[in-house]
Structures are given as C-alpha cells and as structure tokens.
Chains A and B, each alone.
Chain A
Amino acid sequence: DGGITQSPKYLFRKEGQNVTLSCEQNLNHDAMYWYRQDPGQGLRLIYYSQIVNDFQKGDIAEGYSVSREKKESFPLTVTSAQKNPTAFYLCASKSSGSEQFFGPGTRLTVL
C-alpha cells in the first residue's frame, strides 16, 4: 500500500540531547514537509523540500535540521538548540497539483 510513515509514534528525550524523527513515503512525491503542532494550535512549518538534495526553511526552522538525500526520506533532527521541543510533529508529502498527505505523527516529549 502507498503511504507515508513516521517513526516512532512516541519519543522521549532528555534535555540537551539531539533526536531524529523519521519520515518515509512511497508515493513517489517530490515535495516533503515537516510541521510542528502544539496543543490546541494549528500547524507551523519547520522545513520543506521540493526536490532531492534541496530544502528550504519554514517559519520556525531554528533548532531543527533536515536532509533530503533520497526522494523517499526526509528525516528531521531536533537539536539541543530548540528551546521548547515538546510537541506533535507531522510529516507530509505531495506531488504537484495535489493536496498534502500526512503521516500519523510523532509525539515528542522532553523530560
């Protein structure tokens, strides 16, 4: 089945540690996205990538990094520089002219 997967579903991290969230899609989509969602809030764009080996900062990129070495994969690293990383992280992909398809999300908690 085609789709977009994120792992893990729940993630706990100690303050000061970097952590990488996985996002994989087999939809053959060119564009991929990372959003952050805080309780009761909308989605805020962290990074997006329109094509392999290229990505752009969104509105809240500070403290995060990404890579796009393969079309199928767009991992997000939450670094220790991110002051308030506890949130729900959503990955999405789309092809040109279509809507975004979202993964199930990763809930990150910093202890």
Chain B
Amino acid sequence: GQNIDQPTEMTATEGAIVQINCTYQTSGFNGLFWYQQHAGEAPTFLSYNVLDGLEEKGRFSSFLSRSKGYSYLLLKELQMKDSASYLCAVRYSSASKIIFGSGTRLSIRP
C-alpha cells in the first residue's frame, strides 16, 4: 500500500502558529499536495511540493523532504476560519494516481 500518515486532531490558539506533519512511503513519489476541507464541503487546494524545500503562500507554507518521506503544512497568524480538516495527498508513479491521507482536524480556540 501507499500509507500516508497525519495526526488525527490538533488544537491551536487564534493568532498562533501550527505545524501539521505528513509522512508517506517514498517509493514512486511524484509530488505532494495539501488541501483544506471545511465540514460538508469539497476540499480546496492549498499547496503543491515536488522538490525539497519550503513553498510559501501568504499565511500558509509547505515543506517537503523527499529522502525522509516527510512534509509539513505551517499555518501562521491563525484565524477562527482556519478551523477545518487538512488533507495531505501524494501523487505516485502514474502521473494521475493521487492518494489522500486521513486528514488532520484542526480546531482553533479564541
């Protein structure tokens, strides 16, 4: 299989920073995506990493280490609206096959 592991739940405080980790099997790796999903809605795209390093986009950043099979999503200046599930997804050998992790449910407290 192509196991993708993320923490099930996290809690953080409004205005703070939170890091959500994702580990995956490296064989056949061909790119990693992060999505945000609010309850009952479709996922929306946040970031894409295919090379090692940090990609920054506003309050959100995503990091990738291909040799370690590891990525994280960093959310800064947390807002209440950031309460959602965050899904890590990996594209494997076939350019089109994309597998999702179980998601991390993030709760923001005032």
Contacts and interface: CB of A to CB of B under 8 A. Distances in A.
Interface residues of A, number: 25
Q: Is the interface of B mostly helix, strand, loop or mixed?
A: loop
A62 B60 CA distance: 37
B20 interface: no
Given A99-B48, A100-B45, A103-B42, A59 B98 contact: no
Contact of B99 (A41, A59, A101, A103): A59
Contact of B103 (A31, A42, A56, A104): A42
A96 B95 CA distance: 8
Interface residues of B, number: 22
Nearest to A33: B98
Given A99-B33, A100-B33, A42 B87 contact: yes
Nearest to A6: B42
Contacts of A104: 41-42
15 contacts: A33-B98, A42-B100, A42-B101, A42-B102, A43-B43, A43-B87, A45-B99, A45-B100, A59-B1, A90-B43, A94-B98, A99-B33, A100-B33, A103-B42, A104-B42
Interface of B: 1, 33, 40-45, 48, 87, 89, 94-103, 105
